[in-house]
């Protein structure tokens, strides 16, 4: 099993206007994407990988000038890996509103010549699926063999089957949920408050002030990071281990977990855009396909024509297995095809990014059944 190796990001420009779910209008936009493997003549072997909150189009492989910049889901994509590039043509895309090259709050608004900033609209999972469908048009892909994603990416994999039932044959919904709980939204709200209350936020127009709300973004990530891990795994990895010089009755870094969270927060704040973070968390909050059906998820999922693979992780408390089972039961209610697997991987919500043998074997076995 190998990595896909050297990869190159590509850009697609979309010049026809896009009306977002909010009613806002984007006159044009760009999407950055990467592809791995070869699209077959029938164009029937394409898999779309949807990213989660902090992801992007660089899903697998590495760049010529950055050997250590390895894609965020490299361990599942490549020759002989579950998303086998010897069989499939795999597409990764940076979502609209992102901060890795697709049009987002840090992009220049053509109407003003300045950064979009606060004026960049709130985007939704439905909007992302719409923009991804336009990318599929550009690539000549009528129907995806599969759409796959973890967490927020799993919500997109689900939404694809509802927005474009005829354009997705299989949907792999991993470590996801059909909607956020009050607790999930509460965590998102604290993350947003950390950013919004940072004096460097300037109402979202910090680019003009040549500053960034680094402290708020750092706090948001520290908080988020806790929800991605499991108690068990944190205990194993950090326990109550202390740093040298601990026990000084101060508020400096004394415990290893504090050091780890600060490191993760700093690293993330240096790379990510706060306005994008706000919008990604809002997209999560708003996602609720059953809302228009009186809360009846089965009714909401009825239009789907895809086969589903739903995967959950027993140590995930952010989107615990019962949230995945709600999706499964709604599909069973409708008589729609679905398989469901639950892995014991110890890494909490982050398990979907890990190389867990059972989890990867399930994905591989499922994808091998797909007729190309």
Partner 1 sequence: MIHAAERADFDLIASWVKPGERVLDLGCGDGSLLKRLIEERGAYGYGIEREEAGVLAAIAQGINVIQGDLEQGLAGFDDGTFNHVVLSRTLQTVRHTERLLTEMLRVGREAVVSFPNFAYWKNRMAVMSGRMPVSEDLPYEWFETPNLRFFTLLDFESLCAKMRLVIRERQVLDESGHLIIEEPNFLGSLAVYRLGR
DSSP states of 163-206: H-GGGBSEEEEES--SS--HHHHHHHHHHHHHHHT-TT-GGGTG
Catalytic residue among 349, 350, 356, 360: 349
CA distance 177 to 125: 13
Is-catalytic flag, 151? yes
Is-catalytic flag, 200? no
242's CB contacts (< 8 A; 6+ apart) are: 254, 255, 256
Q: Shortest distance, CB of residue 330 to partner 1, whole angstroms?
A: 9
Minimum CB distance to partner 1 smaller for 248 or for 371? 371
CA distance 76 to 1: 10
Site for partner 1 in 59-118 (CB under 8 A): none
Is-catalytic flag, 316? yes
Only segment of 155-163, 227-235, 263-271, 320-328 that touches partner 1 (CB under 8 A): 320-328
Q: How many residues does the chain have?
A: 372
CA distance 171 to 359: 16
368 binds partner 1 (CB under 8 A): yes
- In terms of Cα–Cα distance, which of 252, 202, 194 is closest to 224? 194
Q: Shortest distance, CB of residue 331 to partner 1, whole angstroms?
A: 9
Q: Can you tell me which of 138, 291, 365, 372 binds partner 1, judged by CB under 8 A? A: 365
CA distance 337 to 168: 13
CA angle 21, 214, 107 (to 5 degrees): 45
Catalytic residue among 127, 198, 273, 316: 316
Question: In 3-state terms, what secondary structure has residue 50?
Answer: strand
Minimum CB distance to partner 1 smaller for 263 or for 322? 322
Site for partner 1 in 283-312 (CB under 8 A): 309
**How far lies 34's CA from each of 48, 103, 167, in Å?**
10, 16, 20
Per-residue string for binding with partner 1, 133-172, x by CB under 8 A? ----------------------------------------
Q: What are the φ and ψ backbone dihedral angles of 321, each rounded to 5 degrees?
A: -50, -35
| Bridge partners for 309 per DSSP | 172, 339
Q: Shortest distance, CB of residue 338 to partner 1, whole angstroms?
A: 6
Q: Shortest distance, CB of residue 44 to partner 1, whole angstroms?
A: 17
Site for partner 1 in 322-361 (CB under 8 A): 325-326, 328-329, 332-333, 335, 337-342, 358, 361
Q: Shortest distance, CB of residue 180 to partner 1, whole angstroms?
A: 19
Minimum CB distance to partner 1 smaller for 130 or for 356? 356
What residues line the site for partner 1 (CB under 8 A)? 309, 325-326, 328-329, 332-333, 335, 337-342, 358, 361-362, 365-366, 368-369
């Amino acid at each position: 099993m190998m990595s896909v190796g050297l990869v190159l990001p590509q850009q697609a420009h979309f010049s026809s206007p896009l009306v977002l779910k909010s009613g806002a209008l984007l006159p044009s936009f760009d999407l950055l994407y990467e592809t791995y493997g070869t699209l077959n003549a029938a164009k029937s072997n394409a898999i779309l990988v949807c990213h989660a909150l902090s992801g992007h189009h660089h899903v697998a492989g590495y760049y010529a000038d950055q050997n250590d910049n390895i894609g965020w889901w490299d361990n599942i994509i490549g020759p002989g890996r579950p998303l086998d590039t010897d069989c499939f043509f795999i597409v990764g895309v940076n979502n609209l509103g992102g901060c890795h090259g697709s049009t987002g709050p840090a992009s220049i608004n053509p109407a003003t010549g300045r950064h979009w900033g606060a004026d960049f609209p709130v985007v939704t999972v439905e909007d992302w699926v719409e923009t991804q469908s336009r990318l599929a048009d550009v690539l000549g892909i009528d129907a995806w063999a599969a759409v796959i994603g973890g967490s927020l990416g799993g919500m997109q994999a689900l939404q694809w089957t509802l927005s474009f039932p005829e354009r997705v044959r299989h949907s792999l919904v991993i470590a996801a949920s059909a909607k956020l709980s009050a607790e999930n939204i509460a965590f998102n709200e604290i993350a947003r408050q950390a950013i919004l209350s940072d004096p460097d936020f300037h109402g979202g127009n910090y680019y003009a002030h040549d500053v960034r709300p680094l402290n708020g973004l750092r706090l948001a990530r520290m908080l988020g990071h806790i929800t991605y891990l499991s108690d068990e795994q944190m205990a194993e990895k950090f326990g109550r281990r202390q740093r040298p010089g601990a026990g000084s009755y101060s508020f400096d870094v004394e415990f290893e977990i504090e050091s780890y969270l600060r490191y993760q927060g700093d690293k993330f704040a240096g790379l990510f855009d706060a306005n994008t973070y706000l919008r990604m968390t809002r997209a999560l909050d708003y996602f609720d396909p059953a809302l228009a059906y009186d809360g009846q998820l089965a009714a909401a999922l009825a239009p789907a024509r895809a086969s589903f693979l739903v995967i959950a992780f027993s140590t995930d408390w952010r989107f615990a297995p019962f949230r995945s089972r709600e999706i499964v039961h709604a599909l069973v209610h409708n008589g729609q095809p679905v398989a469901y697997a639950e892995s014991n991987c110890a890494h909490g919500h982050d398990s979907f990014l890990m190389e867990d043998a059972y989890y990867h074997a399930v994905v591989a076995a499922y994808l091998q059944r797909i007729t190309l």
